Structure 1
Amino acid sequence: MIQQIRQRSRELSGEIRSIRQHIHQHPELSFEEFETAKYVAAKLDALGIDYQSGVAGTGIVAVIRGRQPESRCLAIRAELDALPIKELNEVSYKSINEGIMHACGHDVHTACLLGVAQIMHELRDQFSGTLKLIFQPGEEMHPGGGSLMIEAGVLENPKIDAILALHVYPHLPAGVVGFRSGQYMASTDEIHIKITGKGGHAALPHQTIDPIAIAAETIVALQQVVSRRSNPISPSVLSFGKIAGGTVNNVIPDEVELAGTLRTMDEQWRAEAHKLIRNVTHNISEAFGAQAHIDIPKGYPSLYNDPVLTAQIGGFAEAFLGKDQVRELSLRMTADDFAFYSQSVPGCYFRLGTNTNNAAHTVSVHNARFDIDESALETGVGVMSFAAFSYLQ
């Protein structure tokens, strides 16, 4: 079966490249993936695969049933959305939608999953169980399409026993994949703070309540929430990327707004940090006679890879690619809404190497020049197909 799937992955590589390039050229923002969803649906129609569209808006859930479809169910997730980035690559498949780009590789993920769909549909009489293919909207935007797909019932009918996802990784060469068992990626929460004081002339600070000075005090104090209150052996990050207030140099404004992000690996500490951020911010503002409004919309949970499932899928990858082509990954403070799935059922989120011999295509994701060595597509399709086939035996 390894040889058969290798051969089909190779035979389909040109078609999968074409699919990836089409999706790359026509990117759409989170929860606006209308044409992308139509394109995926048309490909599934051509293959004769059953699916439901319009799930959580633009999501699609396809089902491939094996000989004994009720025995077990494996799901594989790919994302449909792109980022609000103006592409700077000069390639034939450059984005034609101004200011929108598949800079996080979701075009790769969707193309690979369509390749898996074709191979597994061809092999449906040779495996047991059911394969569920999840084409998900809105991974890049709060509250995360994964949470909405779960609310829409994607984990049921049939009930999912385990779920997989791959993600492009420009830090590994094409032909290589990476795994990490257990805790892998951080939770992510947005921090929005509005400090309201009393504006006035900058030369008369005693007649004002200066929200800029209070904001500065708040930012410095909040850094100690992480450095002094969190367990140092559990990674945690609190950073502010935006501060906005005032218009000219000699006027103290009425308000200042701050925006930041909190990332943790510990769900209990995450909840505690939310309380500390609120308390510290309120106390500082009150001490200076100002008011603070704090909003912490809960984002993605930390991503946990089930150790048993990850060992199993990693073993399938070693059998398919060779042991030297499978690497162990390090912890990351980035986040992915696949965590919603892996908090609900056993999950395995692994990485697909996409650079060329560590010399080209090494630009990080979320960059206007991100691109891949397209030979990685054959690897992604082959590894996921073999893993799915082997799991469903």
Structure 2
Amino acid sequence: MTAGRSRTGASRAGNTVEKAQNMLEKIRDLAENYYRRMVELRRYFHARPETAFEEIETSKKIKAELSLLKIKSSSHAKTGVLGVLQGTKEKPVCALRSDIDALPIHEKTGLPFRSKNNGRMHACGHDMHMAMVLGAAMILRDIKSELKGTVRFIFQPAEEVPPGGAIEMIKAGAMKNPPVKMIFALHNDPNIRTGKIGVRDDVMMAEVLDFNLTVRGRGGHGARPHDTIDSIVVASQIIDAAQAIVSRQINPSAQAVLTIGTIEGGSARNIIAGEVFMRGTIRGTDPKSVQKVKKGLEQMITGITNAYGAKYNLEYVANYPALKNNPAANRFIIETAHKLYGKKSVTYLENPGLGGEDFARYLQYVPGAMFRLGVRNKKVGAVHQWHSDMFNVDEEAMKIGSAVLAGAVYNFLEQKG
């Protein structure tokens, strides 16, 4: 009797594994089938970029596409969209997230579908993110009868502008009713060749702390500097000294950076500026390092302004927490990619990046993971870095991205539903 039961159990387990593999193969085939549609969508979005909380036409298009798939959708956080696809059960809920905003950049790619909105560009690949999550929606719609739970599609505005749109989507209930149990996302990576994905447990992207700094001196005639407190000189001393904070106060084995990205001051060649305004950012993979850089910056600004008799106002405008991937969530991504495209399709990233991502905010509520999708291909000019006015991606990668997202969702619901 025991041996008979054992054989029966082994047979059921074998059938389950075979079913899962067959379903993943179907998902891969569906990604191939929907590839041309994803390309069309990516190019539509690319030609019509909209910046943070201005993604009006973008969200209309997303809702229209979800409607064609008979997926219920609703608007949130001004321009965000939530889509809901229920399978055979209401719970558990697994979510997929895409950012939808563009950047204030003038595109110079010369692509036939280049930006029609002057001074706006999808230079971080959010156009392809939207297309792939919609592609995953097409795939999951087609296997709806096999889904042991619900899929929530989160199309989030304003990822590029701290504090980001994730906060607003979460406040609007994106993670509730019923609660999301796991969430997945991806981000394109021009440093990984097409055909591969990059994964990393724990910290994948840095904590970000953005600041504004105003230095106030005393303006006057350029010929009488002794009667003034030159705010440009003070600001230049601060910028110069700031470069030593990370190199001399932070452990070299830690990852941290302090960048002052803009400086504005002065109105004429013969007028000593009374005020200078600067914008900067502190980033690090360890919260202690970020706080140490913050403290060092404050002490250095105080010392330099006091030495010159100037005053200052330092304002912290926004922050993103570090993006920490849950290892269990990563396993769903890794196993899915292995079964779909082979073990060589997965690259394990040695170090986290110092870029910021407000997908991290969702991970403060539920387990989840983001993977990097390789989009590098010299043949199509997909070699430029994010935020470049020449940025482009290899659209072939969208087959892999949409299939891995859909497969990870299916596997999660199959195991937890």
Instruction: Work out whether 1:148 is the aligned partner of 2:173.
Output: no
Confirm or deny: 8 A CA contact 2:102 2:123 kept in the other structure.
yes
Q: Distance in 1 between matches of 2:58 and 2:233?
A: 47
Q: 1:373 aligns with which of 383, 394, 399?
A: 394
**What is the one-letter code of the residue matched to 2:327?**
P
Confirm or deny: 8 A CA contact 1:174 1:357 kept in the other structure.
no
Q: How far off is 1:375 after superposition?
A: 1.1
Map Cα deviations across residues 292-320 of structure 1 (whole Å, 9 max, x no partner). Answer: 01111122111111122213321221111
Instruction: Work out whether 1:363 is the aligned partner of 2:384.
Output: yes
Partner of 1:316: 336
Q: Between Structure 1 and Structure 2, whose CA radius of gyration is higher?
A: 2
Q: 1:186 aligns with which of 206, 209, 216?
A: 206
Instruction: Work out whether 1:304 is the aligned partner of 2:304.
Output: no
Q: How far off is 1:45 after superposition?
A: 0.8
Indicate the structure with greater helix content: 2
Residue 320 of structure 2: SS of its match in structure 1? coil
Matches for 1:33-44 after TM superposition, within 5 Å:
33-44=55-66
**TM value normalised by structure 1:** 0.94
Instruction: Work out whether 1:292 is the aligned partner of 2:312.
Output: yes
**What is the one-letter code of the residue matched to 1:3?**
E
Partner of 1:76: 96
Unpaired segments ≥5 residues, structure 2: 1-22
Residue 319 of structure 2: SS of its match in structure 1? coil
Aligned residues: 391
**What is the one-letter code of the residue matched to 1:44?**
L
Q: Distance in 1 between matches of 2:411 and 2:26?
A: 13
Instruction: Work out whether 1:121 is the aligned partner of 2:141.
Output: yes
Confirm or deny: 8 A CA contact 2:381 2:392 kept in the other structure.
no
Map Cα deviations across residues 315-334 of structure 1 (whole Å, 9 max, x no partner). Answer: 22111111111111232111
Q: Distance in 2 between matches of 1:359 and 1:46?
A: 31
Matches for 1:173-252 after TM superposition, within 5 Å:
173-252=193-272
Q: Distance in 1 between matches of 2:368 and 2:314?
A: 33
Q: Distance in 1 between matches of 2:318 and 2:245?
A: 18
Map Cα deviations across residues 340-372 of structure 1 (whole Å, 9 max, x no partner). Answer: 112322121111111226884111121122122
Map Cα deviations across residues 133-183 of structure 1 (whole Å, 9 max, x no partner). Answer: 100111111220112111222111121111111111112222211111111
**What is the one-letter code of the residue matched to 2:86?**
R
Residue 133 of structure 1: SS of its match in structure 2? strand
Q: 2:85 aligns with which of 60, 64, 70?
A: 64
Instruction: Work out whether 1:138 is the aligned partner of 2:158.
Output: yes
**What is the one-letter code of the residue matched to 1:20?**
R
Instruction: Work out whether 1:12 is the aligned partner of 2:39.
Output: no
Residue 188 of structure 1: SS of its match in structure 2? strand
Query: For structure 1, which segment, 244-253 or 161-170, has the greater mean C-alpha deviation from structure 2 after superposition?
Result: 244-253
Confirm or deny: 8 A CA contact 2:190 2:386 kept in the other structure.
yes
Q: Distance in 1 between matches of 2:65 and 2:104?
A: 26
Q: Distance in 2 between matches of 1:192 and 1:260?
A: 6
Unpaired segments ≥5 residues, structure 1: none
Partner of 1:351: 372
Map Cα deviations across residues 191-243 of structure 1 (whole Å, 9 max, x no partner). Answer: 21111111223343322222122212222333333233333322110011222
Map Cα deviations across residues 223-282 of structure 1 (whole Å, 9 max, x no partner). Answer: 333233333322110011222222344432111222211111122443443344233313
Confirm or deny: 8 A CA contact 2:216 2:274 kept in the other structure.
yes
**What is the one-letter code of the residue matched to 2:326?**
D
**What is the one-letter code of the residue matched to 1:33?**
E
